[in-house]
Amino acid sequence: MSRQYNVGLVGVGAVGAEMIKVLKDRGFPCGKVQVFASRERDEVINGETYHVLKADENSFGGLDIVLFAGKTDVAIQLKDAVVKAGAKMIDNSRAFRQDPDVPLVVPQVNAEDLDWNKGVIANPNCTTAIMLEAVAPLHRAKKLKRLIASTYQAASGAGAPGLAELEEQMKEMVEDRPLSVKAFQHQLTYNLIPHIDKFDETNWYTLEELKMRNEARKMLHAPDLMVSCTSVRVPIPRAHSESLNLEFEEDVTPEEAREILSKAEGVKVVDDPLNGGYPMPLDATSKYDVLAGRIRQDISRNDKKGLDMFVSGDQLLRGAALNAVEIAEHLVKRGLV
């Protein structure tokens, strides 16, 4: 009988529930799954009742892997306790993403960075994870020099309150009632909001946009990579999309890019635009793969070093829960747990 691993989960929101589902769907060899939150209670998750324990510094004895799907301050508070208990911490918050002692990992992009972990592994921002699934294979083949990204991010990227607000606004609009605006800065229905996270007042980029630059540099081991991003909240429930303009050190044609991506794990090429074949969030929802298409030469250049591309990926699944579980799978595969 193969070894089983005791798994802890801190946080019972949308991402936490998705993590439990992915563990089951992928047949991860769990001995037990213990769920933790801010207080003890029974909680129905994916139709099954779990006895949730209060998370504290004494919670993690006997666990092999602890998935964190909660707040940044909780991850910071409990990190040392997880490591002291001998478990591996896989954290979905922003707490440790730029810590030089913590690997920031998407297994299809940089699984080798798991080998130098000191007990904590960070999950990147969901938009970064979706982007790099498609960009990293091209970077390995042609060496990326510059990346311009515009993101179209679903309401559920702001958690359950964001999704609930979009749904409530749609009902209110149909019923001709005043719209509730709490989760976002402005009305989202019939609107786009070019504002995700706080603004950095030194350069007027948002923290969401800066995360994509900093995380891409770290994960691609390319500290000088030129990246600029504009992040936009859009009125769809689930799955993020991104328009990418890519500049490479070497020439690359759309045909080469399609061939490279067709062989890349975690990517599905959907690129038949004349017949309506291109990535859309509706098609990416609840799918493991990032959809990549609209691959074309950048006609603003007089060489073949530029490409344009459009990608869609489920941010709760591909960008968060699935990636965390795949990190756990690779820790097992590499004998690191």
The domain total for the chain is 2
Q: Is residue 240 among the annotated active site residues?
A: yes
Nearest to 102 by CA among 68, 133, 144, 134: 68
Question: 92 is written with which tokens?
Answer: 């979905």
Mean pLDDT computed over every residue of the chain: 97
Please check whether residues 284 and 155 belong to one and the same domain: yes
Average pLDDT over residues 271-275: 98
Residue-wise pLDDT for 258-269, tens only, equals 999 999 999 999
- Where in the sequence is the domain holding 65, given as residue range(s)? 5-124+320-333
Look at residue 14 in the predicted model and tell me its pLDDT.
Answer: 85
According to the model, what pLDDT value does residue 165 have? Answer: 97
> Which residue pairs, CB below 8 angstroms and at least 24 apart, start in 260-266?
260/137, 260/138, 260/141, 261/134, 261/137, 261/138, 261/292, 261/295, 263/137, 264/108, 264/133, 264/134, 264/136, 264/137, 265/108, 266/108, 266/133, 266/290, 266/318
229 is catalytic: no
Pair 178, 201 in one domain: yes
pLDDT at position 120 is 98
Residues of the chain with pLDDT > 90, as a percent, come to: 98
Give the whole-angstrom CA distance, residue 131 versus residue 150.
11
| pLDDT computed for residue 289 by the predictor | 98
- Whole-angstrom distance, CA of residue 194 vs CA of residue 309: 20
Together in a domain, 32 and 149: no
Q: Are residues 139 and 235 in the same domain?
A: yes
* CATH code of residue 24: 3.40.50.720
**Do residues 310 and 209 share a domain?**
yes
pLDDT per residue as tens digits for the range 82-127: 999 999 999 999 999 999 999 999 999 999 999 999 999 999 999 9
Residue 138 shares a structural domain with residue 108: no
Tell me which of 126, 139, 229, 330 is the catalytic residue.
126
CATH number for the domain that contains residue 255: 3.30.360.10
Please tell me whether residues 18 and 163 are part of one structural domain.
no
Q: How many Å separate Cα 255 from the centre of its chain?
A: 28
Torsion over CA: 136, 27, 63, 337 (sign): negative
Same domain, 34 and 160: no
If one counts every other C-beta atom within 10 angstroms of the C-beta of residue 296, the result is 16
Mean pLDDT of 3-19: 94
pLDDT of 322 higher than 90: yes
69 pLDDT more than 90? yes
pTM reported for the whole predicted model: 0.95
The catalytically annotated residue of 139, 229, 240, 330 is 240
Q: Are 248 and 145 contacting, i.e. CB atoms less than 8 angstroms apart?
A: yes
Tell me what pLDDT residue 337 has: 95
- Structure tokens of 31? 């001995």
Report whether pLDDT(47) > 70.
yes
For residues 237 and 303, membership in a common domain is answered with: yes
Give the DSSP per-residue string, 222-242: -TT-EEEEEEEE-S-SS-EEE
Q: Which positions ≥6 away from 202 have C-beta within 8 Å?
A: none
Please tell me whether residues 14 and 56 are part of one structural domain: yes
139 in the same domain as 114: no
Asked if 9 and 52 sit in the same domain, the reply is yes
